[in-house]
Structure 1
Amino acid sequence: MTFAGDHVQSLVVDLHVPRDVALTGLRHDLAALLGDLGEDHLYDVQLVVTELVSNVLDHTPGEGRLRVFRVGKPCVVTVEVDDESPTQPVYGHSRLGENRGRGMVMVESATSKWGTSLRPDGGKTVFAVVPCP
């Protein structure tokens, strides 16, 4: 697989996200797999993964799939999360109450870009690109 500019992109994580996924365990596994990243960069990747996976659990009826890719030079981590809903993430608002809805705001602050693409099966993929500082 290649990334823009012919930089090789390697798959770090590709896993099913069940409804009962343990987010703390997922963050711990990411730290082990991406342990050579700087502390701040690793924190940003963990934050993005947590928020995107939480959105699947909180806002869609089904389960999801998480993929994390890494490019070495320049150092970039891309997170992709598939779900079964065509409903797009809502920036800054939540149907779960006024104290929620800031997840995508945090994702945007930790990434160089994020977005969505609809999948042929009716679901979507939400992606976020986390550059090294």
Structure 2
Amino acid sequence: MTTVDEGAGAVVLDVPVDAAIALSAVRGHLSAALRDLGEDHRYDVLLVVTELVNNVLDHTPGAGHLRVLRHASLCEVTIEVDDSSPVEPVQGRSRISDTRGRGIVVVHNLAREWGTRPCEGGKTVFALVACPDGGDGCGLSPSATT
């Protein structure tokens, strides 16, 4: 697991996604790196990360790659997950079971913007989880603003 400080408040988490990934460790690492975000906003970011990583594990062959980028606006966070499948995610439908298939619906509801773009051998699914009401610095925990 690699975290790189890119200046201007940006934080990048860069980890491979495969069957051995410990999502609880990834969430713990992200919680620490994003501790100054408001609790609800941080939870939204962690939920989007979990859904996108699980989609790679459940719906694509092989492995993937997760990147989490913290923007200079303090509370905007972009999640990107590369995978080896050209198949686009589908909202509300799962080939695994009738009780599944709501992960992209969750991402759609939590992200200001989400989508896909082709990458070598597959695609990148991305989601931008913005400040709760769109402003700079909103949603920060009280200790981060003092």
Shared fold per TM-score greater than 0.5: yes
Q: Calculate the aligned-residue CA RMSD, in Å.
A: 1.4
1:49-128 matched pairs, under 5 angstroms: 49-73=49-73, 75-119=75-119, 121-128=120-127
Gaps of at least 5 residues in structure 2 are 1-7, 133-146
SS at match of 2:91: coil
- In the TM superposition, what is the alpha-carbon distance from 1:16 to its structure 2 partner? 1.1
CA deviation map 1:59-83 (0-9, x unaligned): 0111111111111326310000000
CA deviation map 1:31-80 (0-9, x unaligned): 01111111001000000000000000000111111111111326310000
Gaps of at least 5 residues in structure 1 are 1-7
CA distance in 2, matches of 1:19, 1:117: 23
Partner of 1:37: 37
Partner of 1:13: 13
- In the TM superposition, what is the alpha-carbon distance from 1:12 to its structure 2 partner? 2.0
Structure-1-length-normalised TM-score: 0.89
CA distance in 1, matches of 2:39, 2:72: 16
CA distance in 2, matches of 1:9, 1:63: 30
Instruction: Calculate percent identity across the aligned residue pairs.
Output: 57
Supply the AA of the counterpart residue of 1:37.
L
CA distance in 2, matches of 1:35, 1:11: 12
Q: Is the 8 A contact 2:18 2:63 kept in 1?
A: yes
Supply the AA of the counterpart residue of 1:16.
P
Partner of 1:131: 130
> Which structure is higher in strand share?
1
Which protein is bigger by CA-based radius of gyration?
2
- In the TM superposition, what is the alpha-carbon distance from 1:108 to its structure 2 partner? 0.8
- In the TM superposition, what is the alpha-carbon distance from 1:10 to its structure 2 partner? 2.7
Partner of 1:4: none
Supply the AA of the counterpart residue of 1:78.
T
Structure-2-length-normalised TM-score: 0.81
Aligned residues: 125
Q: Is the 8 A contact 2:91 2:104 kept in 1?
A: yes
Q: Is the 8 A contact 1:112 1:131 kept in 2?
A: yes
